[in-house]
Amino acid sequence: MSTSTNARDTSISILTKTVANPPRILAADDQEHILEALALLLKPEGYKVDTARSPVLVREALASTSYDAVLIDLNYTRDTTSGQEGLDLLSQIVAIDSTLPVIVMTAWGNVELAVEAMRRGARDFIQKPWENERLISILRTQVELHRALQESERLAAENRLLNALGRPEFIATASSMAPILEAITRIAPSDANVLVTGEHGTGKEVVARTVHALSLRASRPFIAVNTGGLAEGVFESELFGHVKGAFTDARSDRIGRFELANGGTIFLDEIGNVPLRQQSKLLRVIESGEIERVGSSRSQRVDVRIISATNADLEAACRSGQFREDLLFRLNTVELHLPALRERREDIPVLAMHFLAQYASRYRRPVHGVDTSALQSLLQYSWPGNVRELEHTIERAVLMCRSEQIQPGDLGLGAQRPASPNLEELSLEAVETILIRKALQRFQGNVSHAAEALGLSRGALYRRMEKYGL
């Protein structure tokens, strides 16, 4: 097939999608009649047109809506002709999304201003009053290129999702997981900060590692930090590092987690449990892109993508004053909410077989399948601990199984669970594990409440949970 035929087919494909999903344009100008004229011109051409009369409104629109192109004026204050307002806005838009086509327009066009706009990332330049045919042609070309680039990135991410080596095993066949998979393929190639929410044990870190593995930073470090488990006294040292002599035990310089993640991704787990005082320090680093080791006055720039996770309702925490709203805005450029395992039961058999193969190999046990009645038990159980609990259940079953197939009695679920052993027969670690599990179940996974009930600090409980694999 010839190159021209390929190009024609690509154009037809893009135009077909455009009809099904009309392109959305954001037009910005301080004069209402200009915005009205643009809407009258573009709507009959099949475009959805949103308008904004100031740079502030442009930024708000971009924060809440996806656009295929942006048309911006270069002057927004009466009697201003320098174009500086528009140039600054252009730079901000490009910083938010370098792939979004921006076309600048002004009644005070000159070569120098046009060159500066293009240097800052504008895709084209229109002088008012514009020629309708030229404006429509420019928009059509830029929208097609933008959609073609998005489609290319999506297909590349999907291909990496299928073929990437060394990535975590992300099993998601249930229909409720389809939006998560689609979102991951779209956002992974970008540097957007991601907030992963969901109950304990739903696989938030697996999602974070998958996003990193499919990103352009995949060859760079992925550093995971349980921020909720960090004591307030070591929070800054762990995240930002310290210099020798910064405090009593600082016998040598130490690199922090942000430095370790430079060029890659940092995963901030249990972000909802970070104390307010530390939230402000974290926000400052995110906003400035700079860190200071404890005890040092020298700032260092770091380039990291931030993926955070929580099982808490951060919006409610913001309303109650327990979490900074400005920090939440920085963290949740994109939010992925993982459904509980009980809401994706189609995945239970696949996950069970995955864990069976993993632990049968690890423990060298000749277990090759799950009995039908045992599988039925797995499907009927409520799984308050989600995927993590399923994994531990299968691990135990592999160890307890006396045949080639896991039987219902091997699972220890519900009525089939063996009678509680005598505490005198258990080790201290086993007793701690039982008490922690019961506390977490009683408070629906809320670590702070469970820690309070057990008479532990939140950090101490996190350390025990990590120790026992809870």
Q: What CATH number should be reported for the domain holding residue 100? A: 3.40.50.2300
Q: Please indicate, yes or no, whether residues 250 and 397 belong to a single structural domain of this protein.
A: no
Burial class (CB in 10 A: 0-12, 13-18, 19+), 373: exposed
Q: Please indicate, yes or no, whether residues 239 and 335 belong to a single structural domain of this protein.
A: yes
For residues 313 and 289, give the distance between their C-alpha atoms in angstroms, rounded to a whole number.
26
212 pLDDT band, cuts 50/70/90, is very high
In a domain, 28, yes or no: yes
pLDDT tens profile 392-423: 999 989 988 888 999 998 998 864 444 444 55
Q: Find out whether 31 and 106 touch, Cβ atoms under 8 Å.
A: no
424 pLDDT band, cuts 50/70/90, is low
Q: Please indicate, yes or no, whether residues 7 and 132 belong to a single structural domain of this protein.
A: yes
Q: What is the pLDDT of residue 196?
A: 96
For residues 51 and 277, give the distance between their C-alpha atoms in angstroms, rounded to a whole number.
39
Where a domain ends, among 324, 339, 354? Answer: 339
Tokens of 208: 């974070």
Q: Please indicate, yes or no, whether residues 210 and 293 belong to a single structural domain of this protein.
A: yes
Find the CATH number of the domain harbouring 429.
Answer: 1.10.10.60
Q: Please indicate, yes or no, whether residues 327 and 453 belong to a single structural domain of this protein.
A: no
**Site of tokens 């998560």:** 180
In a domain, 162, yes or no: no
Where a domain ends, among 117, 151, 185? Answer: 151
Q: Please indicate, yes or no, whether residues 407 and 352 belong to a single structural domain of this protein.
A: yes
Q: What is the pLDDT of residue 306?
A: 95
As a whole number, mean pLDDT of residues 36-53 equals 91
Burial code (b: 16+ CB inside 10 Å, e: under 16) for 93-114 equals beeebeebbbbbbbeebeeebb
Neighbours of 308 (CB within 10 A): 28
Find the CATH number of the domain harbouring 395.
Answer: 1.10.8.60
Q: Find out whether 346 and 388 touch, Cβ atoms under 8 Å.
A: no
Q: Out of 47-51, 91-95, 179-183, 456-460, which region has the weakest mean confidence (pLDDT)?
A: 456-460
In a domain, 129, yes or no: yes
pLDDT at residue 117 tops 80 = yes
In a domain, 49, yes or no: yes
173 CB-side CA count, 13 A: 9
In a domain, 159, yes or no: no
200 three-state secondary structure: coil
As a whole number, mean pLDDT of residues 46-57 equals 90
For residues 286 and 284, give the distance between their C-alpha atoms in angstroms, rounded to a whole number.
6
36 three-state secondary structure: helix
63 pLDDT band, cuts 50/70/90, is confident
In a domain, 128, yes or no: yes
For residues 294 and 161, give the distance between their C-alpha atoms in angstroms, rounded to a whole number.
39
Percent of the chain with pLDDT over 70: 85
Where a domain ends, among 339, 360, 379? Answer: 339
301 three-state secondary structure: strand
In a domain, 293, yes or no: yes
- Structural domain including 442 reads 423-470
Mean pLDDT computed over every residue of the chain: 82
10 pLDDT band, cuts 50/70/90, is very low
Q: Please indicate, yes or no, whether residues 227 and 312 belong to a single structural domain of this protein.
A: yes
Q: What is the pLDDT of residue 111?
A: 67
In a domain, 165, yes or no: no
pLDDT tens profile 314-365: 999 999 999 999 999 999 989 999 999 999 999 999 999 999 998 898 888 8
pLDDT tens profile 79-89: 667 778 888 88
Q: Please indicate, yes or no, whether residues 334 and 346 belong to a single structural domain of this protein.
A: no
88 three-state secondary structure: helix
Q: Find out whether 374 and 406 touch, Cβ atoms under 8 Å.
A: yes
For residues 335 and 211, give the distance between their C-alpha atoms in angstroms, rounded to a whole number.
12
| Overall number of domains in the chain | 4
Cα–Cα distance list, 100 to 140, 145, 150 (Å):
14, 10, 10
Q: Please indicate, yes or no, whether residues 135 and 12 belong to a single structural domain of this protein.
A: yes
* The model scores a pTM over 0.85: no
Q: Please indicate, yes or no, whether residues 328 and 354 belong to a single structural domain of this protein.
A: no
Q: Please indicate, yes or no, whether residues 180 and 329 belong to a single structural domain of this protein.
A: yes
Q: Please indicate, yes or no, whether residues 85 and 225 belong to a single structural domain of this protein.
A: no
